[in-house]
Amino acid sequence: MKVRFMVFLCLIFPSVLVAEAESDEAKIRISTFGFKTQGRRNLVEKNQTQTERFGGIALPFWIRFRANSEKEDWKANLELDAVSTGEDKLRILPGKEAYLALYSKGFYWGFGRKSDPNSLPSRFHWNDGVEGFFVETKRSERYRIRFDALDFYRGFPLAENRWLIWQGKDSYLPASARKELGAMSEKSDALSKTKFRYRTGIGFWGKENSGVFYNLQIRYLSLGNWGRFGEETSEARSFSSLGDKDYLSHTKVGLGYLLESFYVLGEGLASRGLDKTATHPQRPQKSLPISGEALRIETGVFGSGWCVSLYGFLPNGDRRSKNGEILELGFVGMGTSPLPNPLLNQIWGWTPGAWVTGAGLEKDSTRIPSKRPSGIFGTQGSFKFGNLRLEIQSSYIQFLSDTGASSGAWSISPKGFSGSFMREGSIAIGWAKREGNVPDLQLDLGGIESDRNTGIKQWYLLFKFGWEFSCVPK
C-alpha cells in the first residue's frame, strides 16, 4: 500500500510543478528491471577445494522525473529518482542535476545538486559534483567556471549505483565474502544512510576551436570524524565529539585533443590529507597521512553512430613498513565508482583505491574485490544501427601489491602489482526511438572472473523495459 501511494505522489506531484513553473521540458520515465546473478567461489583450505555457490534475483521498478527551464534571469533543472527496494519501500534520490539558480551580476547563484561537466571527450569517467551552494559563469562555448561555496558532500550517491544494493546486498554475495566485507545482515536503511560533510572548491572547464580540451579542479573536504579504516578511539579524537579534524584536498588537471574522428586525453589527480587514527607501534604519529596520485588516460576513434575507445587508470599505492603496516595512504578518490558493471559497483563495492563515500573514508583489507588500490585497462565500443544500440565493454583490473615494504611511489614494473586480478565484461543490446538516447528495451549480459586464489566466477543477466512520456502539452 505504501509503495502504491508513493507511486501516486511521484506521478501527480511533478504535474503540479510543471503547471506552476511552465517548464520548457518535463518528462517522466518509468522502468522495470529483471536482474539475475549466479556465481561460485572456490576456497582452498588444507589442500582441499571447497566450492561455495551463490546467486540472487531482483525485480525492482524505477521512476525518473526530469524537468528543466531557462529564462533570462534564472534557470532550473530538476531530476528525481524513485527506486523500489527489497523491503517493499521506495528510495528517492536526486539525479545528476537538481538545482535552482538565479542570474545576477554576470553569474548564476544556485542551490542544489549540479554535476561536474565532462569537458574532455571521454567515455570512461566517474560522476561527481556539488550538493549545496554554488556560483557559476553563464554558459559559454569556450569555458565554464564554478565555485562551490558550500558543498554538503555525501559521496554523490546516484540511483544508477544504488538500485541493486537496495534490493538486499546479502542476497548476492557468498557467505565468506559477506563476513570479509562486514556486510552481514545489513539492511537497505543502513546502506542508504549518509552523513553531510563540508566541501568547497573551484573548477574550470574549457575547450578551444583548435580541438584542445582542458580542465582544472581544486577541492577541500573536511572529513570530520570519518573513517572505517583505522580504529578511531577517544584518544585519536582527543576526546572531541565534533571529530578529529580529518581532511582531504583533491587536485585534478586534464588535457585532451579532439580531431575530426579521433581523440586522446590524460588526466592527473592528486590527493593530500590526514586521517587521525589511534596510535600504532609501527607508526609513531597519531595520524595517517594521505599522499597519493593517480593517472587516467583514454584514446578513441568515432564516427556517425559508433565509437571505440581504450582507457586506463593507475593510482599509486600505500606506503608500508616491512611487515605490511600502512604508514601513509596512497590515492583516495571522491565521487561515484567509475565502472558501470553493477556487480563490481554495487554488490562487491569495488573502487580503485580508498574512497570517500557517504559513510566516510573507506578502505578494505580483504582478498576479494573491494576498495583496494588497483590499475585498470579496458576497451569499450558503442554502435547504433537505426533504432538498435549495441555496447561492448571489457576491463582488466590488477591489484597493487599490499604485502611487505613499499615506498608508496608509482611503479609500472611487475613488482608493484600483486598476482590478484579481475576480468570483467558485458555486452548490451537495446532498442530506442531514433531521437532518444535511453533505450526503451535493453538486455545486458556480463560477469567477472578473479584470479585462482580468490576463486570467483560470477555472471549476471539484466533486462530493462521502460517508457517515457512528456508532462507538457506540445
Q: Can you give the pTM of this predicted structure?
A: 0.85
| Alpha-carbon span 308 to 300, nearest angstrom | 6
Instruction: Quote the pLDDT of residue 243.
Output: 47
> Any long-range contacts for 104-111 (C-beta under 8 Å, 24+ apart)?
104/73, 106/137, 106/138, 107/135, 107/136, 107/137, 107/138, 108/75, 108/135, 108/136, 108/137, 108/138, 109/133, 109/135, 110/134, 110/135, 110/136
Residues 6+ apart with CB under 8 A from 9: none
Could you tell me the pLDDT band of residue 17, with boundaries at 50, 70 and 90? very low
Other C-beta atoms lying within 10 Å of the C-beta of residue 387: 14
For residue 294, pLDDT over 70 is answered with yes
Pairing of strands 74-84, 61-70: antiparallel
Contacts of 333 (CB under 8 A, 6+ apart): 126, 269, 271, 294, 315, 351, 352, 353, 354, 355, 356
Name which CATH class applies to 37-44+96-232+242-462. mainly beta
Strands 354-356 and 332-334: parallel
Confidence of residue 96 (pLDDT cuts 50, 70, 90): very high
Q: What is the pLDDT of residue 10?
A: 44
Q: Confidence class of residue 4 from pLDDT cuts 50, 70 and 90?
A: very low
First vs last Cα of the chain: how many Å apart? Answer: 34
CA distance 335 to 219: 12
pLDDT value at residue 193: 53
Which tens digits make up the pLDDT trace of 37-73?
A: 999 998 777 677 788 999 999 999 999 999 999 888 9
pLDDT at 190 over 60: no
As to burial, measured by CB atoms within 10 angstroms (0-12 exposed, 13-18 middle, 19+ buried), residue 322 is exposed
